[in-house]
Amino acid sequence: TDRKFSQINTILEKTYYNVETHSPETLDWFNVLIGQTIQQFREEALQKDNIVHSLNNFIARKSGELPQYLDTIKITELDIGEDFPILSNCRIQYSPNSNKQRLEAKIDIDLSDRLALGIETKLLVNYPKPFTAALPIQLTVSIVRFQACLTVSLTTAEEFVPTSENEASYGSENGGYFLMFSFSPEYRMEFDVKSLIGARSKLQDIPKIGSLIESQIKKWFVERCVEPRFQFIKLPSLWPRSKNTREEKTENDDISMK
Amino acid sequence: MSFEINWQDLGEDEAVNDSIKSFLNSHLQSISLPSYVSSLQVTDFCLGGIPPNITLREISDPLDEFYNHIEKEELPKDKIPEESDSGCQSADGENGDLLPEVQAESDLQFLVEVDYKGDMRIGVSAELALNYPSPSFMTLPVKLSITDLGIHALCLVAYISKQLFVSFLCDVADPILDARESLIDLGSSAILGKKSLERISLIRSIKIDSEIGEQNNVEGSVLRSVGKLEQFLLEVFRTILKKEAAWPSWINLDFNEDPSGNESSDED
């Protein structure tokens, strides 16, 4: 363990980074690359209608697992946004509670956008008989603001345990490096929930429905990627291989193809 | 109307009609009968073909009273394993600490307006005792039919950890509604409970017809008693609704233990 400590110190020394005095960096270059990636993802999604399809497929696959009080779910709106997350204020620090044996990057993240999902379903009353009554529900849930402090580090698998039993096999293949990231608990996630409930006489935008949805989404989020939980993703090998080698198309190639 | 109601299947369903019939009968058993009635029984029940009109008025968190009820229910259950373990382990304080937090974000309460003017029929058979000229001079079988039930009331429906609570609050024309914007604000429940006598009856209309043997139809004394019986029955049904399903009482359906829905009522 002392070895690890001195390893980390050597790295810091030889990369000219003093965790006490180094000033935070902007990540402007990284924002541009992330923005490009997201842009491409959005274009693909729009062109092929990918997300709606995969979501509808997902819902169709999971329809047996839906609670009995919900009718089939139909997606009515999908907005994948048009802005990009802005990362800033990046600094390297020792991971708290790691006894100076692990380094991590802390990055502020801010996103102002509209990411929306609209669905239509029915609340079913199954008493005294199945489908005795149904209450139509139209919902549009949008995330309009997300602000958080992101922690990123590279590590090996040995120090960590999966949070659910069935993922145990994934953890056992512990060779290689993992990217772990997590958000600090003081995150800010703002929602805009629109609801329309009822058949002919409708109730609109009930606060209780909004808070119900918000708490479900936040629960999902907190259980996966808010400290002390974090996401743990195996990194692919970056060793140069011939099967990963490409070169730019030249004009000659285009002509010969014709 | 906010709810789409699939009434065709329900109104003619034998199991549903039978369970309501036995619910009514179990409550008729506990009623003390006047001297001129010697037995009272629901012989048939039919929900009919016309559904109630149900309009959603508000959605909110459930009232505290429902949580209090659940906490009270859960206490004895927690004590059972402790008693079987050993007699010397006993601490009510510890038990209190172990109580699960019953309140969950997913709990919901609907305030609905129920407008019913359907063709529900209740058939009742009774034995009429003729106390003239001497006590229990004669008993006559009487058939009564109850129809034209009309209700237009506000009703709370709360769903808390697989338990459903249904409670009628008051008639939609009740003056108690004039003063407030929202019915489910704090304190309103208490007011509703205390002033129950001043409130408008939940049953707006009800019609009771009686049928007795034809040879007695001309006899004035017999008809008078039947009129009394009709009045009595009317009171019985008003009381059942008020005592079992109207605030501060409610019908509690627990889907935790019994998947078919165990009907039990509660009075605080």
SS (H, E, C) A89-138: EEEEEECCCCCCCCEEEEEEEEEEEEEEEEEEEEEEECCCCCCCEEEEEE
Closest Cα to residue A189, out of A118, A111, A119, A116?
A111
Instruction: Work out the mean pLDDT of chain A and round it to a whole number.
Output: 87
Distances in whole angstroms, Cα of residue B241 to Cα of each of A78, A98, B121, B143, B236: 48, 65, 16, 22, 9
- What is the DSSP secondary structure assignment for residue A241, as one 8-state letter? -
Which range among A91-105, A188-202, B153-167, B224-238 shows the weakest confidence by mean pLDDT? Answer: B224-238
Asked if the Cβ–Cβ distance from A136 to B4 is below 8 Å, we say yes
Quote the domain boundaries for residue B215. Answer: 2-81+106-266
Q: What is the pLDDT along chain B (268 residues), one digit of tens a residue?
A: 899 998 888 888 899 999 999 988 988 888 888 888 888 899 999 999 999 999 999 898 888 888 888 888 776 555 444 444 443 333 343 444 444 466 777 888 999 999 999 999 999 998 888 888 888 788 888 889 999 999 999 999 998 888 889 999 888 888 777 766 666 554 455 556 555 556 778 899 999 988 876 556 666 666 777 888 888 888 888 888 888 888 888 888 887 764 444 444 443 3
Q: What is residue A60's predicted lDDT score, i.e. its pLDDT?
A: 83
Comparing alpha-carbon positions, the chain A residue that sits nearest to B57 is A203
pLDDT band at A156 (very low <50, low <70, confident <90, very high): confident
Residue A53: what are its φ and ψ, rounded to 5°? Answer: -65, -50
Q: Are B158 and B63 in contact, with CB atoms under 8 Å apart?
A: yes
Higher pLDDT, B222 or A19: A19
Q: Would B128 be classed as within a structural domain? A: yes
pLDDT at A180: 92
Q: Taking residues A2-9, report their average pLDDT.
A: 86
- The pLDDT, as a whole number, for residue B89 is 38
Closest Cβ–Cβ partner in A133, A203, A208 for B6 = A133
B33 in a domain, yes or no?
yes
**Number of structural domains chain B divides into:** 1
CB A104 within 8 A of CB A31: no
> In this structure, are strands B4-5 and A133-155 parallel, antiparallel, or unpaired?
antiparallel
In a domain, B162, yes or no: yes
B101 in a domain, yes or no?
A: no
Q: Residue B202 and residue B47: Cα distance in Å, rounded?
A: 18
pLDDT for residue A104 is more than 90: yes
Which of B1, B2, B8 should we substitute to test contact with A (largest number of A Cβ atoms within 10 Å)?
B2
- pLDDT the model gives residue A93: 94
Is B10 close to A132, i.e. CB distance below 8 A?
A: yes
What is the ipTM, given to two decimal places? 0.74
Comparing B150 with A99, which gets the higher pLDDT?
B150
Residue B242 · residue B202 · CB < 8 Å: yes
Q: What pLDDT shows up at residue B267?
A: 39
Q: Which residue has the higher pLDDT, A251 or A14?
A: A14
pLDDT for residue B198: 63
Residue B90 maps to a domain: no
Work out the pLDDT band at A162, boundaries 50, 70, 90. confident
How confident is the model over A26-44, as a mean pLDDT? Answer: 94
Task: Give the percent of chain A with pLDDT over 90.
Answer: 53
What residues pair up with B171 in beta bridges, in sequence order?
Answer: B153
Which residue, among A69, A129, A193, would best test binding to B if mutated, counting the most B CBs under 10 Å from its CB?
A129
Coil, helix or strand at residue A151: strand
DSSP string, A16-83: T--TTTPPPB--HHHHHHHHHHHHHHHHHHHHHTHHHHHHHHHHHHHGGGS-TTB---EEEEEE--S-
- Which candidate, A132, A67, A71, A64, places its Cα nearest to that of B261? A132
Tokens representing A115 are 């990411």
Q: Are the C-beta atoms of residues B186 and B215 closer than 8 Å to each other?
A: no
User: Taking CB atoms and an 8 Å cutoff, what residues of chain A touch B105?
Assistant: 211-212, 215-216
Q: Is the peptide bond before A228 cis (omega within 30 degrees of 0)?
A: yes
Q: Is there a contact between B61 and A208 if contact means CB atoms under 8 Å apart?
A: yes
User: Which residues does chain B have within 8 Å of residue A199's beta carbon, measured at their own beta carbons?
Assistant: 1-4
In this predicted structure, what is the pLDDT of residue B101?
Answer: 60
